[in-house]
Structure 1
Amino acid sequence: MPATLSRHPRFRLAAAVLAAAFQAGAWAHGDVTPQAVDTSALPKLGDNWRAENPFRKNDAAIKIGSSAYNQNCARCHGLEAVSGGIAPDLRKLDNDCATQKDEKKKAVCVKEVDDYFLGSVRRGKTRNGAVYMPPFEGLLNQEAMWSIKSYLETRREKPL
């Protein structure tokens, strides 16, 4: 590139605009530090992790879960659990259960999805050494995790 071009004011302006655009793209994800969730309005669940969602259809938990989801999950899984393609669409989390006609099989399916959800949130998702989802155990308590699940149950693609 000729030295005279790099000294031209329009070239410098264009270079500055491009640099700012690339920098903004790098910051577009925002602060990825997990945000605290106030679960003081919910019953304490203790130290033993529950096998099933104890807050299912609990209005207080759903409200807390909505806020917790938006603060900690939406940047990857999408606003209102509608994925933009970065991570799985969590409205579809228990679609397999919705097609079950037998109530006992449906209950088993829901419990399995609860277990899968809790394991994923607690331990995160890693594949071939790459972290696809960070672990939240130690950052979010059990009440917060189940509140998020309760909120997600209100966003199902296929109602149970």
Structure 2
Amino acid sequence: MIKAPATPPEPVTRADKRALLMGAVLLGGMLLGNLAQAHGDVVPHAVATDGLEQLGPEWRAENPYRESKDHDKALEIGKSAYTQNCAACHGLEAISGGIAPDLRHLDVGALGDEWFVERVRNGAVRDGRVYMPKMADYLSQEALWAVRTYLDSVHTEE
């Protein structure tokens, strides 16, 4: 048998409500701060490109894996490399949350390759702020073209 409390609970005061609201606001601010940090505090991870044709020091103008025997291997490596090095800003499966460009809409073929090479080699800096690092300083040409191969596989028209 459940017994009723001997005395009724005290009513919630205005001060109690204010304290609860302040706690919720502080907790929400901390959570949002962590989400924002997740988009910008990214350390590039090495990418193993075993099994891909080695491309040498000169950058190719177009994706060498697009129609090569290494396409499927490049796609596999590129998906993993993208998830480790790009998804924090550009979104899982290249679906951006609005902070960085949605890479599913990158032009296909040579035009998209030209933009891709420009961005991964030079990064994105505006008003002295680094929005994207020079990924070619951290990842090999093979790894970056593998990422491009993956991006081709998730391409959608706007």
Sort the TM-score into its range (normalised by shorter chain): 0.7 to 0.9
Aligned to 2:96: 83
TM-score (norm 2): 0.74
Calculate the aligned-residue CA RMSD, in Å: 2.3
User: Superposition pairs for residues 101-120 of structure 1, below 5 Å?
Assistant: 110-120=109-119
Aligned to 1:26: 33
Aligned to 2:48: 38
Aligned to 2:132: 133
Give how far 1:70 is off.
0.8
Give how far 1:25 is off.
3.1
Give how far 1:20 is off.
5.2
Q: 1:67-118: CA deviations, max 9, x gaps?
A: 1111111111111111111111111111xx6xxxxxxxxxxxx223212101
TM-score (norm 1): 0.73
Aligned to 2:8: none
Percent identity at matched positions?
47
List runs of 5+ in structure 1 lacking aligned partners.
98-109
Q: 1:110-139: CA deviations, max 9, x gaps?
A: 223212101101111112222221111220
Residues 62, 110 of structure 2: 8 Å contact kept = yes
Residues 55, 142 of structure 2: 8 Å contact kept = yes
State the alpha-carbon separation in 1 of the partners of residues 131 and 79 from structure 2.
Answer: 22
* Aligned-partner SS, 1:137: helix
List runs of 5+ in structure 2 lacking aligned partners.
1-14
Q: Report how many aligned residue pairs link the two structures.
A: 137
